[in-house]
Structure 1
Protein backbone atom coordinates (compact mmCIF):
# COMPACT_ATOMS: atom_id res chain seq x y z
CA UNK A 1 0.00 0.00 0.00
CA UNK A 2 1.32 3.47 -0.84
CA UNK A 3 1.76 6.09 1.86
CA UNK A 4 0.86 9.75 1.79
CA UNK A 5 3.51 12.46 1.98
CA UNK A 6 1.95 14.67 4.66
CA UNK A 7 4.67 16.40 6.67
CA UNK A 8 7.31 15.93 3.98
CA UNK A 9 8.95 18.42 1.61
CA UNK A 10 9.83 17.87 -2.04
CA UNK A 11 12.10 19.98 -4.26
CA UNK A 12 11.38 19.67 -7.99
CA UNK A 13 13.69 21.10 -10.65
CA UNK A 14 12.24 22.02 -14.02
CA UNK A 15 8.95 22.65 -12.24
CA UNK A 16 7.74 25.40 -14.56
CA UNK A 17 6.47 23.00 -17.23
CA UNK A 18 6.26 19.44 -18.48
CA UNK A 19 7.16 16.54 -16.23
CA UNK A 20 8.36 18.86 -13.47
CA UNK A 21 5.06 20.71 -13.32
CA UNK A 22 3.01 17.51 -13.37
CA UNK A 23 5.20 16.05 -10.63
CA UNK A 24 4.78 19.09 -8.41
CA UNK A 25 0.99 18.78 -8.65
CA UNK A 26 1.13 15.01 -8.06
CA UNK A 27 3.32 15.21 -4.96
CA UNK A 28 1.41 18.17 -3.54
CA UNK A 29 -1.75 16.13 -4.02
CA UNK A 30 -0.18 13.38 -1.92
CA UNK A 31 0.41 15.85 0.91
CA UNK A 32 3.96 17.12 0.34
CA UNK A 33 4.92 20.77 0.55
CA UNK A 34 6.67 21.49 -2.74
CA UNK A 35 9.56 23.79 -3.65
CA UNK A 36 9.39 24.70 -7.33
CA UNK A 37 12.71 25.47 -9.01
CA UNK A 38 13.27 26.73 -12.55
CA UNK A 39 14.30 29.91 -14.36
CA UNK A 40 10.86 31.21 -15.40
CA UNK A 41 9.35 32.93 -12.38
CA UNK A 42 6.02 33.68 -14.05
CA UNK A 43 5.46 30.05 -14.97
CA UNK A 44 6.46 28.90 -11.49
CA UNK A 45 3.94 31.28 -9.96
CA UNK A 46 1.22 29.69 -12.10
CA UNK A 47 2.16 26.23 -10.85
CA UNK A 48 2.29 27.47 -7.27
CA UNK A 49 -1.16 28.99 -7.66
CA UNK A 50 -2.52 25.64 -8.83
CA UNK A 51 -0.95 23.90 -5.83
CA UNK A 52 -2.31 26.46 -3.37
CA UNK A 53 -5.78 26.48 -4.88
CA UNK A 54 -5.95 22.75 -4.14
CA UNK A 55 -4.96 23.38 -0.52
CA UNK A 56 -1.26 22.66 -0.83
CA UNK A 57 1.92 24.53 0.10
CA UNK A 58 4.29 25.77 -2.60
CA UNK A 59 7.53 27.74 -2.55
CA UNK A 60 8.72 29.43 -5.75
CA UNK A 61 12.48 29.45 -6.37
CA UNK A 62 13.30 31.22 -9.62
CA UNK A 63 16.95 30.42 -10.29
CA UNK A 64 19.45 28.94 -12.72
CA UNK A 65 20.43 25.55 -11.37
CA UNK A 66 23.36 25.26 -13.77
CA UNK A 67 25.17 27.63 -11.39
CA UNK A 68 26.54 25.63 -8.45
CA UNK A 69 25.98 28.41 -5.93
CA UNK A 70 22.43 28.99 -7.16
CA UNK A 71 21.68 25.26 -6.94
CA UNK A 72 22.97 25.15 -3.36
CA UNK A 73 20.94 28.26 -2.60
CA UNK A 74 17.77 26.60 -3.91
CA UNK A 75 18.30 23.69 -1.54
CA UNK A 76 19.03 25.97 1.40
CA UNK A 77 15.97 28.11 0.66
CA UNK A 78 13.81 24.99 0.59
CA UNK A 79 15.03 23.86 3.99
CA UNK A 80 14.91 27.36 5.50
CA UNK A 81 11.37 28.09 4.30
CA UNK A 82 9.77 24.64 4.51
CA UNK A 83 11.77 23.09 7.32
CA UNK A 84 13.28 19.97 5.76
CA UNK A 85 13.88 18.07 2.52
CA UNK A 86 12.59 14.53 2.01
CA UNK A 87 12.30 14.21 -1.76
CA UNK A 88 14.32 15.57 -4.68
CA UNK A 89 13.07 15.20 -8.25
CA UNK A 90 15.54 16.28 -10.92
CA UNK A 91 13.25 16.92 -13.88
CA UNK A 92 14.96 19.82 -15.66
CA UNK A 93 16.17 18.91 -19.13
CA UNK A 94 16.83 20.06 -22.67
CA UNK A 95 17.11 18.13 -25.95
CA UNK A 96 18.88 19.77 -28.90
CA UNK A 97 19.57 16.97 -31.34
CA UNK A 98 20.95 17.12 -34.85
CA UNK A 99 23.85 15.98 -37.05
CA UNK A 100 27.00 16.19 -34.95
CA UNK A 101 29.05 17.89 -37.66
CA UNK A 102 26.44 20.64 -37.95
CA UNK A 103 25.36 21.09 -34.31
CA UNK A 104 26.68 24.25 -32.63
CA UNK A 105 29.02 23.54 -29.73
CA UNK A 106 27.00 25.83 -27.48
CA UNK A 107 24.01 23.48 -27.86
CA UNK A 108 26.15 20.60 -26.64
CA UNK A 109 27.34 22.72 -23.71
CA UNK A 110 23.76 23.64 -22.87
CA UNK A 111 22.68 19.97 -22.73
CA UNK A 112 25.62 19.08 -20.49
CA UNK A 113 24.93 22.07 -18.24
CA UNK A 114 21.19 21.49 -17.79
CA UNK A 115 20.86 17.73 -18.09
CA UNK A 116 23.94 16.79 -16.09
CA UNK A 117 25.72 19.58 -14.23
CA UNK A 118 22.52 21.10 -12.83
CA UNK A 119 21.37 17.69 -11.65
CA UNK A 120 24.73 17.04 -9.98
CA UNK A 121 24.85 20.44 -8.30
CA UNK A 122 21.38 20.12 -6.79
CA UNK A 123 21.92 16.52 -5.73
CA UNK A 124 25.25 17.33 -4.06
CA UNK A 125 23.73 20.18 -2.08
CA UNK A 126 20.66 18.14 -1.13
CA UNK A 127 22.44 15.03 0.15
CA UNK A 128 23.02 16.12 3.78
CA UNK A 129 19.41 17.23 4.17
CA UNK A 130 18.02 14.08 2.55
CA UNK A 131 20.15 11.90 4.83
CA UNK A 132 18.89 13.86 7.85
CA UNK A 133 15.30 13.36 6.67
CA UNK A 134 15.82 9.63 6.23
CA UNK A 135 16.90 9.45 9.87
CA UNK A 136 14.12 11.49 11.47
CA UNK A 137 11.14 10.91 9.17
CA UNK A 138 8.28 8.75 10.44
CA UNK A 139 8.51 7.05 7.02
CA UNK A 140 12.24 6.31 7.69
CA UNK A 141 13.16 7.02 4.08
CA UNK A 142 14.07 9.82 1.66
CA UNK A 143 14.12 9.80 -2.14
CA UNK A 144 15.93 11.16 -5.17
CA UNK A 145 14.24 10.58 -8.52
CA UNK A 146 16.21 11.49 -11.63
CA UNK A 147 14.52 11.87 -15.01
CA UNK A 148 16.68 10.28 -17.69
CA UNK A 149 15.27 9.02 -21.00
CA UNK A 150 15.12 5.95 -23.20
CA UNK A 151 18.04 7.84 -24.79
CA UNK A 152 19.90 6.89 -21.61
CA UNK A 153 19.58 3.24 -22.62
CA UNK A 154 19.80 3.17 -26.42
CA UNK A 155 22.07 5.30 -28.62
CA UNK A 156 20.87 6.73 -31.92
CA UNK A 157 22.28 8.78 -34.80
CA UNK A 158 22.12 12.58 -34.37
CA UNK A 159 21.51 12.14 -30.62
CA UNK A 160 25.13 11.77 -29.42
CA UNK A 161 25.28 14.52 -26.79
CA UNK A 162 21.76 13.97 -25.52
CA UNK A 163 22.64 10.26 -25.29
CA UNK A 164 25.82 11.17 -23.42
CA UNK A 165 24.02 13.25 -20.80
CA UNK A 166 21.23 10.74 -20.27
CA UNK A 167 23.54 7.71 -20.11
CA UNK A 168 25.44 9.68 -17.47
CA UNK A 169 22.28 10.37 -15.46
CA UNK A 170 21.29 6.70 -15.55
CA UNK A 171 24.78 5.57 -14.53
CA UNK A 172 25.19 8.13 -11.75
CA UNK A 173 21.79 7.26 -10.31
CA UNK A 174 22.71 3.59 -10.03
CA UNK A 175 26.06 4.43 -8.44
CA UNK A 176 24.36 6.71 -5.89
CA UNK A 177 21.79 4.02 -5.21
CA UNK A 178 24.54 1.60 -4.28
CA UNK A 179 26.34 4.22 -2.19
CA UNK A 180 23.32 5.16 -0.06
CA UNK A 181 21.18 2.03 -0.02
CA UNK A 182 22.10 1.23 3.61
CA UNK A 183 21.19 4.74 4.78
CA UNK A 184 17.52 4.71 3.76
CA UNK A 185 18.10 7.16 0.91
CA UNK A 186 16.59 5.68 -2.25
CA UNK A 187 17.76 6.68 -5.71
CA UNK A 188 15.53 5.97 -8.69
CA UNK A 189 15.75 6.74 -12.39
CA UNK A 190 12.86 7.09 -14.83
CA UNK A 191 13.47 6.73 -18.55
CA UNK A 192 10.50 8.03 -20.54
CA UNK A 193 9.92 7.57 -24.23
CA UNK A 194 8.07 10.12 -26.34
CA UNK A 195 6.21 12.41 -23.96
CA UNK A 196 4.08 15.39 -24.95
CA UNK A 197 5.97 18.32 -23.44
CA UNK A 198 8.01 21.39 -24.34
CA UNK A 199 11.08 19.18 -24.83
CA UNK A 200 10.21 18.79 -28.50
CA UNK A 201 9.70 22.55 -28.91
CA UNK A 202 13.26 23.43 -27.96
CA UNK A 203 14.69 22.97 -31.45
CA UNK A 204 13.11 23.16 -34.90
CA UNK A 205 12.11 19.89 -36.57
CA UNK A 206 12.40 17.77 -33.40
CA UNK A 207 8.91 16.36 -33.93
CA UNK A 208 9.62 15.68 -37.58
CA UNK A 209 12.89 13.94 -36.75
CA UNK A 210 11.19 11.77 -34.14
CA UNK A 211 8.38 10.83 -36.53
CA UNK A 212 10.91 9.97 -39.22
CA UNK A 213 12.73 7.63 -36.81
CA UNK A 214 9.77 6.04 -35.03
CA UNK A 215 6.64 6.88 -36.99
CA UNK A 216 3.46 8.38 -35.56
CA UNK A 217 2.89 7.35 -31.96
CA UNK A 218 0.42 8.37 -29.28
CA UNK A 219 2.71 10.24 -26.91
CA UNK A 220 2.71 9.77 -23.17
CA UNK A 221 1.24 12.54 -21.03
CA UNK A 222 3.42 14.25 -18.45
CA UNK A 223 0.95 13.03 -15.81
CA UNK A 224 1.87 9.44 -16.75
CA UNK A 225 5.46 10.12 -15.68
CA UNK A 226 4.33 12.01 -12.58
CA UNK A 227 2.21 9.02 -11.55
CA UNK A 228 5.31 6.81 -11.76
CA UNK A 229 7.23 9.26 -9.60
CA UNK A 230 4.35 9.31 -7.14
CA UNK A 231 4.44 5.53 -6.95
CA UNK A 232 8.16 5.54 -6.21
CA UNK A 233 8.16 8.13 -3.46
CA UNK A 234 4.98 6.97 -1.72
CA UNK A 235 6.11 3.36 -1.53
CA UNK A 236 6.92 2.10 1.97
CA UNK A 237 10.55 2.02 3.10
CA UNK A 238 10.98 -1.65 2.24
CA UNK A 239 10.19 -0.99 -1.44
CA UNK A 240 12.94 0.57 -3.59
CA UNK A 241 11.99 1.09 -7.22
CA UNK A 242 15.40 1.43 -8.87
CA UNK A 243 14.46 2.04 -12.50
CA UNK A 244 11.33 2.52 -14.58
CA UNK A 245 11.25 2.60 -18.38
CA UNK A 246 8.02 4.07 -19.77
CA UNK A 247 7.37 4.08 -23.51
CA UNK A 248 4.23 4.82 -25.47
CA UNK A 249 2.54 1.56 -26.33
CA UNK A 250 3.24 1.98 -30.03
CA UNK A 251 6.81 3.33 -29.78
CA UNK A 252 9.31 0.71 -31.03
Structure 2
Protein backbone atom coordinates (compact mmCIF):
# COMPACT_ATOMS: atom_id res chain seq x y z
CA UNK A 1 0.00 0.00 0.00
CA UNK A 2 1.36 3.45 -0.91
CA UNK A 3 1.04 6.23 1.64
CA UNK A 4 3.20 8.77 -0.17
CA UNK A 5 0.75 11.58 0.59
CA UNK A 6 1.48 11.28 4.31
CA UNK A 7 5.03 12.62 3.98
CA UNK A 8 5.41 16.11 5.39
CA UNK A 9 2.14 16.11 7.29
CA UNK A 10 1.79 16.95 10.98
CA UNK A 11 -0.41 14.60 12.97
CA UNK A 12 -1.88 14.40 16.46
CA UNK A 13 -2.78 10.93 17.71
CA UNK A 14 -4.55 10.43 21.04
CA UNK A 15 -4.43 7.14 22.87
CA UNK A 16 -0.93 6.72 21.48
CA UNK A 17 0.43 4.75 24.44
CA UNK A 18 -0.99 1.47 23.17
CA UNK A 19 -3.28 -0.31 20.74
CA UNK A 20 -4.71 1.43 17.71
CA UNK A 21 -3.24 4.79 18.67
CA UNK A 22 0.28 3.44 18.99
CA UNK A 23 0.02 1.48 15.75
CA UNK A 24 -1.32 4.52 13.92
CA UNK A 25 1.46 6.74 15.22
CA UNK A 26 4.06 4.23 14.08
CA UNK A 27 2.54 3.98 10.60
CA UNK A 28 2.21 7.73 10.10
CA UNK A 29 5.77 8.37 11.26
CA UNK A 30 7.13 5.56 9.08
CA UNK A 31 5.63 7.30 6.05
CA UNK A 32 7.07 10.71 6.74
CA UNK A 33 4.57 12.46 9.02
CA UNK A 34 5.60 14.31 12.17
CA UNK A 35 3.52 12.81 14.96
CA UNK A 36 2.52 14.25 18.32
CA UNK A 37 1.89 11.31 20.66
CA UNK A 38 -0.85 12.02 23.21
CA UNK A 39 -1.81 9.80 26.16
CA UNK A 40 -1.62 9.76 29.95
CA UNK A 41 1.28 7.31 30.32
CA UNK A 42 4.38 9.44 29.82
CA UNK A 43 6.78 6.48 30.08
CA UNK A 44 5.03 4.63 27.25
CA UNK A 45 5.02 7.76 25.10
CA UNK A 46 8.72 8.37 25.67
CA UNK A 47 9.48 4.77 24.75
CA UNK A 48 7.43 5.00 21.56
CA UNK A 49 8.96 8.33 20.58
CA UNK A 50 12.40 6.80 21.01
CA UNK A 51 11.54 3.84 18.80
CA UNK A 52 10.12 6.11 16.11
CA UNK A 53 13.22 8.30 16.20
CA UNK A 54 15.49 5.24 16.02
CA UNK A 55 13.63 4.19 12.88
CA UNK A 56 14.22 7.60 11.30
CA UNK A 57 10.85 9.17 12.08
CA UNK A 58 9.78 12.25 14.00
CA UNK A 59 7.64 12.05 17.14
CA UNK A 60 6.89 14.26 20.11
CA UNK A 61 5.72 12.72 23.39
CA UNK A 62 3.00 14.88 24.95
CA UNK A 63 1.47 13.50 28.17
CA UNK A 64 -2.17 14.60 28.38
CA UNK A 65 -5.44 13.71 30.06
CA UNK A 66 -8.25 14.28 27.55
CA UNK A 67 -10.75 14.52 30.43
CA UNK A 68 -8.98 17.70 31.62
CA UNK A 69 -9.49 20.80 29.49
CA UNK A 70 -6.42 22.58 30.86
CA UNK A 71 -4.28 19.52 30.09
CA UNK A 72 -5.52 19.45 26.49
CA UNK A 73 -4.91 23.19 26.06
CA UNK A 74 -1.36 22.83 27.42
CA UNK A 75 -0.73 19.90 25.07
CA UNK A 76 -1.97 21.90 22.08
CA UNK A 77 0.35 24.79 23.00
CA UNK A 78 3.33 22.44 23.24
CA UNK A 79 2.54 20.85 19.88
CA UNK A 80 2.15 24.22 18.18
CA UNK A 81 5.44 25.42 19.63
CA UNK A 82 7.29 22.31 18.48
CA UNK A 83 5.60 21.53 15.17
CA UNK A 84 3.35 24.43 14.25
CA UNK A 85 -0.19 23.80 12.97
CA UNK A 86 -1.40 20.24 12.41
CA UNK A 87 -3.34 18.82 9.46
CA UNK A 88 -4.26 15.34 10.70
CA UNK A 89 -6.02 14.51 13.98
CA UNK A 90 -6.73 10.94 15.05
CA UNK A 91 -8.99 10.51 18.09
CA UNK A 92 -8.09 7.03 19.33
CA UNK A 93 -8.31 7.50 23.10
CA UNK A 94 -11.19 5.58 24.63
CA UNK A 95 -12.32 3.47 27.55
CA UNK A 96 -14.77 0.56 27.78
CA UNK A 97 -16.23 -0.33 31.18
CA UNK A 98 -19.20 -2.66 30.74
CA UNK A 99 -21.46 -3.53 33.65
CA UNK A 100 -25.18 -4.05 34.20
CA UNK A 101 -27.00 -0.73 34.20
CA UNK A 102 -28.64 -1.46 37.54
CA UNK A 103 -25.21 -1.58 39.17
CA UNK A 104 -25.48 2.21 38.94
CA UNK A 105 -21.75 2.86 38.50
CA UNK A 106 -21.99 6.58 37.87
CA UNK A 107 -18.22 6.97 38.19
CA UNK A 108 -17.69 4.57 35.27
CA UNK A 109 -20.43 6.23 33.22
CA UNK A 110 -18.82 9.62 33.77
CA UNK A 111 -15.37 8.31 32.86
CA UNK A 112 -16.62 6.81 29.59
CA UNK A 113 -18.62 9.90 28.62
CA UNK A 114 -15.80 12.27 29.52
CA UNK A 115 -13.19 10.25 27.63
CA UNK A 116 -15.12 8.89 24.65
CA UNK A 117 -17.24 11.95 23.89
CA UNK A 118 -16.19 15.11 25.74
CA UNK A 119 -12.50 14.21 25.48
CA UNK A 120 -12.86 13.91 21.72
CA UNK A 121 -14.58 17.29 21.63
CA UNK A 122 -11.74 18.87 23.62
CA UNK A 123 -9.21 17.62 21.06
CA UNK A 124 -11.38 18.76 18.16
CA UNK A 125 -11.75 22.20 19.73
CA UNK A 126 -7.97 22.47 20.13
CA UNK A 127 -7.14 21.71 16.49
CA UNK A 128 -10.13 22.60 14.28
CA UNK A 129 -8.64 25.97 13.34
CA UNK A 130 -5.47 24.20 12.17
CA UNK A 131 -7.45 21.80 9.99
CA UNK A 132 -9.51 24.57 8.44
CA UNK A 133 -6.38 26.61 7.71
CA UNK A 134 -4.64 23.63 6.08
CA UNK A 135 -7.66 22.98 3.88
CA UNK A 136 -7.81 26.66 2.91
CA UNK A 137 -4.27 26.26 1.62
CA UNK A 138 -5.48 23.35 -0.53
CA UNK A 139 -3.65 20.80 1.56
CA UNK A 140 -5.23 17.58 2.89
CA UNK A 141 -6.86 18.10 6.28
CA UNK A 142 -8.24 15.13 8.20
CA UNK A 143 -10.19 14.47 11.35
CA UNK A 144 -10.38 10.73 12.04
CA UNK A 145 -12.55 9.49 14.91
CA UNK A 146 -12.30 5.91 16.16
CA UNK A 147 -15.78 4.83 17.16
CA UNK A 148 -16.90 1.19 17.45
CA UNK A 149 -19.26 -1.34 15.94
CA UNK A 150 -20.86 -1.02 19.38
CA UNK A 151 -22.45 2.17 18.06
CA UNK A 152 -24.85 -0.09 16.13
CA UNK A 153 -24.83 -3.60 17.58
CA UNK A 154 -26.63 -4.40 20.82
CA UNK A 155 -24.48 -5.91 23.55
CA UNK A 156 -26.19 -6.38 26.94
CA UNK A 157 -24.33 -4.64 29.79
CA UNK A 158 -22.54 -2.30 27.35
CA UNK A 159 -25.30 0.35 27.35
CA UNK A 160 -23.27 3.40 28.31
CA UNK A 161 -20.20 2.42 26.27
CA UNK A 162 -22.40 1.79 23.22
CA UNK A 163 -24.18 5.10 23.79
CA UNK A 164 -20.86 6.99 23.84
CA UNK A 165 -19.80 5.37 20.59
CA UNK A 166 -23.17 6.06 18.97
CA UNK A 167 -22.72 9.67 20.02
CA UNK A 168 -19.26 9.75 18.44
CA UNK A 169 -20.52 8.23 15.19
CA UNK A 170 -23.31 10.80 14.94
CA UNK A 171 -20.96 13.59 15.98
CA UNK A 172 -18.71 12.67 13.07
CA UNK A 173 -21.63 12.94 10.65
CA UNK A 174 -22.69 16.31 12.03
CA UNK A 175 -19.13 17.65 11.96
CA UNK A 176 -18.88 16.60 8.35
CA UNK A 177 -21.75 18.95 7.55
CA UNK A 178 -19.81 21.83 9.10
CA UNK A 179 -16.26 21.00 8.03
CA UNK A 180 -16.84 19.31 4.67
CA UNK A 181 -17.88 22.57 2.93
CA UNK A 182 -14.52 23.96 4.12
CA UNK A 183 -12.65 20.97 2.62
CA UNK A 184 -11.83 19.27 5.91
CA UNK A 185 -12.41 15.53 5.69
CA UNK A 186 -14.10 13.75 8.60
CA UNK A 187 -13.77 9.98 8.76
CA UNK A 188 -15.52 7.77 11.31
CA UNK A 189 -14.03 4.30 11.79
CA UNK A 190 -15.97 1.57 13.58
CA UNK A 191 -13.84 -1.47 14.39
CA UNK A 192 -15.34 -4.73 15.53
CA UNK A 193 -13.43 -7.12 17.77
CA UNK A 194 -9.86 -5.83 17.93
CA UNK A 195 -6.95 -7.05 20.04
CA UNK A 196 -6.14 -4.01 22.19
CA UNK A 197 -5.91 -3.14 25.89
CA UNK A 198 -9.54 -1.95 25.87
CA UNK A 199 -10.85 -5.23 27.22
CA UNK A 200 -8.28 -5.27 30.02
CA UNK A 201 -10.18 -2.53 31.88
CA UNK A 202 -13.16 -4.82 32.52
CA UNK A 203 -13.45 -5.73 36.22
CA UNK A 204 -16.54 -7.93 35.80
CA UNK A 205 -15.15 -11.47 35.49
CA UNK A 206 -18.24 -12.83 33.75
CA UNK A 207 -18.19 -10.11 31.11
CA UNK A 208 -14.42 -10.43 30.70
CA UNK A 209 -14.79 -14.15 30.07
CA UNK A 210 -17.65 -13.49 27.67
CA UNK A 211 -15.50 -11.10 25.65
CA UNK A 212 -12.66 -13.61 25.65
CA UNK A 213 -15.02 -16.23 24.30
CA UNK A 214 -16.03 -13.90 21.46
CA UNK A 215 -12.37 -13.34 20.62
CA UNK A 216 -11.78 -17.08 20.50
CA UNK A 217 -14.90 -17.85 18.45
CA UNK A 218 -14.67 -15.03 15.91
CA UNK A 219 -11.07 -13.91 15.93
CA UNK A 220 -9.87 -10.34 16.18
CA UNK A 221 -8.44 -7.59 14.08
CA UNK A 222 -5.00 -6.28 14.99
CA UNK A 223 -4.20 -2.68 15.85
CA UNK A 224 -1.91 -2.59 12.81
CA UNK A 225 -4.86 -3.47 10.57
CA UNK A 226 -6.85 -0.51 11.92
CA UNK A 227 -3.81 1.74 11.48
CA UNK A 228 -3.56 0.55 7.88
CA UNK A 229 -7.10 1.81 7.25
CA UNK A 230 -6.35 5.16 8.88
CA UNK A 231 -3.24 5.55 6.74
CA UNK A 232 -5.27 4.71 3.65
CA UNK A 233 -8.09 7.20 4.25
CA UNK A 234 -5.70 10.01 5.17
CA UNK A 235 -3.53 9.50 2.10
CA UNK A 236 -6.26 9.77 -0.53
CA UNK A 237 -6.36 12.87 -2.77
CA UNK A 238 -7.66 15.85 -0.83
CA UNK A 239 -11.04 15.85 -2.59
CA UNK A 240 -11.78 12.22 -1.58
CA UNK A 241 -13.44 11.66 1.82
CA UNK A 242 -14.00 8.09 2.98
CA UNK A 243 -16.62 9.14 5.47
CA UNK A 244 -17.46 5.90 7.25
CA UNK A 245 -15.52 2.65 7.58
CA UNK A 246 -16.96 -0.36 9.39
CA UNK A 247 -14.37 -3.11 9.76
CA UNK A 248 -14.85 -6.44 11.52
CA UNK A 249 -13.29 -9.88 11.61
CA UNK A 250 -14.90 -11.93 8.87
CA UNK A 251 -16.57 -14.28 11.34
CA UNK A 252 -18.08 -11.37 13.26
CA UNK A 253 -19.31 -9.59 10.15
TM tier relative to shorter chain: over 0.9
* CA distance in structure 2 between the aligned counterparts of 1:169 and 1:71, rounded to whole angstroms: 19
SS of equivalent residue, structure 1 residue 48:
helix
* CA distance in structure 2 between the aligned counterparts of 1:58 and 1:114, rounded to whole angstroms: 23
Map 1:42-53 → 2, pairs under 5 A: 42-53=43-54
* CA distance in structure 1 between the aligned counterparts of 2:72 and 2:82, rounded to whole angstroms: 16
Rate the CA distance shift 1:60–1:107 in 2: closer, same or farther, 3 A.
same
Map 1:113-128 → 2, pairs under 5 A: 113-128=114-129
* CA distance in structure 2 between the aligned counterparts of 1:26 and 1:116, rounded to whole angstroms: 25
* CA distance in structure 2 between the aligned counterparts of 1:21 and 1:215, rounded to whole angstroms: 24
Q: When the two structures are superposed, what TM-score results if normalisation uses the length of structure 1?
A: 0.94
**Is 1:55 matched up with 2:56?**
yes
User: Which residue does the alignment assign to 1:98?
Assistant: 99
Map 1:11-26 → 2, pairs under 5 A: 11-26=12-27
* CA distance in structure 2 between the aligned counterparts of 1:13 and 1:215, rounded to whole angstroms: 28
Residues 13 and 91 in structure 1, CA contact (< 8 A), matched pair in contact too:
yes
Higher mean C-alpha deviation, range 52-61 or range 102-111 = 102-111
1:202-244 CA distance string (max 9 Å, x none): 1133441225568622111000000000001111112100010
Mark the runs of 5 or more structure 1 residues left unpaired by the alignment.
Answer: none
Map 1:1-252 → 2, pairs under 5 A: 2-136=3-137, 140-204=139-203, 205=205, 206-211=207-212, 216-252=217-253
Q: Structure 1: which 4+ aligned runs deviate by more than 6 Å?
A: none
Tell me how far 1:129 sits from its aligned partner.
1.1
Q: When the two structures are superposed, what TM-score results if normalisation uses the length of structure 2?
A: 0.94
* CA distance in structure 2 between the aligned counterparts of 1:207 and 1:192, rounded to whole angstroms: 19
SS of equivalent residue, structure 1 residue 19:
helix
* CA distance in structure 1 between the aligned counterparts of 2:65 and 2:166, rounded to whole angstroms: 23
SS of equivalent residue, structure 2 residue 57:
coil
Alpha-carbon RMSD:
1.6
* CA distance in structure 2 between the aligned counterparts of 1:79 and 1:237, rounded to whole angstroms: 23
Residues 145 and 189 in structure 2, CA contact (< 8 A), matched pair in contact too:
yes
1:120-168 CA distance string (max 9 Å, x none): 001011101111122235xx22000000000112232111100110000
SS of equivalent residue, structure 1 residue 31:
coil
* CA distance in structure 2 between the aligned counterparts of 1:113 and 1:97, rounded to whole angstroms: 15
Residues 150 and 245 in structure 1, CA contact (< 8 A), matched pair in contact too:
yes
Tell me how far 1:170 sits from its aligned partner.
0.2
SS of equivalent residue, structure 2 residue 144:
strand
Residues 17 and 45 in structure 2, CA contact (< 8 A), matched pair in contact too:
yes
The number of aligned residues is: 250
* CA distance in structure 1 between the aligned counterparts of 2:182 and 2:176, rounded to whole angstroms: 10
